[in-house]
Structure 1
Amino acid sequence: MSEYEIITGTSVGIKAVDGVVLASEKRVAYGFYLLSKSGKKLFKVTDNVGLVSSGVLADMQVISKLVRANISIHEMEAKRPASTRAVAKFLSQVLFQNRYMPFLVEAMVGGVDESGPHLIVLDAAGALIEDDFASLGTGARTAIGIIETSYKQGLSVNDARMIAINAIREASYRDAVSGDGVDLMIITKEGIREETVPIAQPARL
């Protein structure tokens, strides 16, 4: 089975001047078989750091629980909140250690800490890159085109939210294994807010 049959769906991340927006559609598929229309691919790690993935949902869930548990222990030992990069580096180590029998996921970590907003992208082998925006999954090509057209330095988290919704919506129209709504995680220094936005069906002739 090819990579494109496994790393299904569409997820995006956008860094703003005052926060980070993570977003994903809700469709769960294996190949082109639809398993569910209500999957959740966004995971809260700390009060100010979140994770979004594309790929096999079971692997996403296992990784999110592993990261959340270990970061919680780290925070108790360090007696301070974990940084976004600390969360991403731990996830990178988990993915790298399992590279010969890998978790079938691509992931992004977004958060706001003492040094400001950060968005960090990881592949299934644990490669780690910080960027202003990114997209994962089978709908990534369409989504990244929408983001690149609209993104500019210094945009607000509210603007990033609208761009993320548009990117997921357009990808869902063109990717058979993406769709059924947009889950959003808006991360600012005040904390994390989650919401779900329905995807209207495109008009047909």
Structure 2
Amino acid sequence: IMFEETGPEWLSEEVKTGTTIIAIEFDGGVVLGSDSRVSAGASVVNRVMNKLSPLHDKIYCALSGSAADAQTIAEIVNYQLDVHSIEIGEDPQVRSAATLVRNISYKYKEELSAHLIVAGWDRRDGGQVFATMKGLLTRQPFAVGGSGSSYVYGFVDAEYRRGMRKEECQQFVVNTLSLAMNRDGSSGGVAYIVTIDEHGTEEKVVLGNQLPTFFDQ
């Protein structure tokens, strides 16, 4: 008897980043954060993927949607920004990076399934957060995205205050990710945090057992 050889079911599923992503401005910079779980169908295929991708020295994007699509957009924009910065002889603006992401997302809206939040710091406008989706490009004081975001809109709307310091924004991001990861089955793992200001970029990982809890488990 010949048995047909079949691989695991997740091999034929599209790999999605599930995801909770967030970015917030503070006076002088930005903080980005994401969970690390990647799923295909009902299976978790990567527990520790870093979804915060550098586009330039002080510009990052947070990835959600199809993992392959989002990573491809980030790599293309990273290359285009390198060429652009050489042409103009200085670091690119955050708005330029966000516009490139928006243009690619819109041009290939039928083929690509990805939502990227672009955030960073430049000399002209300081810390900035841009939401990019299909043809949309909007600067916002903070932005959330991914499947986990629907669980935390009430929290971020209630907790956000203009003028928060860097440390307060970092805690805001960690708290938001922790709440979303508790509720959303597609979000989980560790929390990746990137803080960007005029002095540089600081990356941090908060392990799952170090995330804050908001109820007795």
CA contact (8 A) 1:41 1:60 kept: no
- Which residue in 1 is equivalent to 2:153? 144
- Which residue in 2 is equivalent to 1:93? 103
Alignment-mate amino acid for residue 166 of structure 2? V
Output the CA distance in 2 between the equivalents of 1:43 and 1:174: 25
Match of 1:30 among 34, 40, 43: 40
Larger Rg computed on CA atoms = 2
Alignment-mate amino acid for residue 90 of structure 1? L
Q: Does 1:67 align with 2:99?
A: no
Deviating runs (4+, > 4 A) in structure 1?
none
Which sits farther off after the overlay, 20-29 or 110-119? 110-119
Output the CA distance in 1 between the equivalents of 2:184 and 2:25: 24
SS at match of 1:139: helix
RMSD: 1.7
- Which residue in 2 is equivalent to 1:177? 186
- Which residue in 1 is equivalent to 2:201? 192
Match of 1:51 among 58, 61, 64: 61
Q: Output the TM-score relative to the length of structure 2.
A: 0.86
Q: Does 1:132 align with 2:131?
A: no
CA shift for structure 1 position 145: 2.5
Output the CA distance in 1 between the equivalents of 2:165 and 2:151: 23
CA contact (8 A) 1:147 1:164 kept: no
Output the CA distance in 2 between the equivalents of 1:40 and 1:126: 26
CA contact (8 A) 1:7 1:106 kept: no
CA contact (8 A) 1:7 1:138 kept: no
After TM superposition, list the pairs within 5 Å mapping 1:78-89 onto structure 2.
Answer: 78-89=88-99
Q: Could you list the per-position Cα deviations for residues 117-173 of structure 1 after superposition, in whole angstroms to 9, with x for gaps in the alignment?
A: 1100011x2311110111111110223332222211111121111000000000000
CA contact (8 A) 1:181 1:199 kept: yes
Alignment-mate amino acid for residue 106 of structure 2? F
- Which residue in 2 is equivalent to 1:164? 173
CA contact (8 A) 2:17 2:67 kept: no
Which sits farther off after the overlay, 179-188 or 144-153? 144-153
Output the CA distance in 2 between the equivalents of 1:190 and 1:55: 31
CA contact (8 A) 2:16 2:38 kept: no
Output the CA distance in 1 between the equivalents of 2:61 and 2:148: 18
Which sits farther off after the overlay, 42-51 or 138-147? 138-147
- Which residue in 2 is equivalent to 1:76? 86
CA contact (8 A) 1:107 1:121 kept: yes
Alignment-mate amino acid for residue 86 of structure 1? S
- Give the unaligned 5+ runs of structure 1: none
How many aligned positions are there? Answer: 198
Q: Output the TM-score relative to the length of structure 1.
A: 0.91
Alignment-mate amino acid for residue 100 of structure 1? E
CA shift for structure 1 position 6: 5.3
CA contact (8 A) 2:23 2:129 kept: yes
The alignment-based identity, stated in percent, is: 24
Alignment-mate amino acid for residue 204 of structure 2? E
Q: Could you list the per-position Cα deviations for residues 176-201 of structure 1 after superposition, in whole angstroms to 9, with x for gaps in the alignment?
A: 01011100111111111111101238
- Give the unaligned 5+ runs of structure 2: 1-14
* Relative contact order, higher structure (CA 8 A, sep 6+): 1
Match of 2:50 among 37, 40, 50: 40
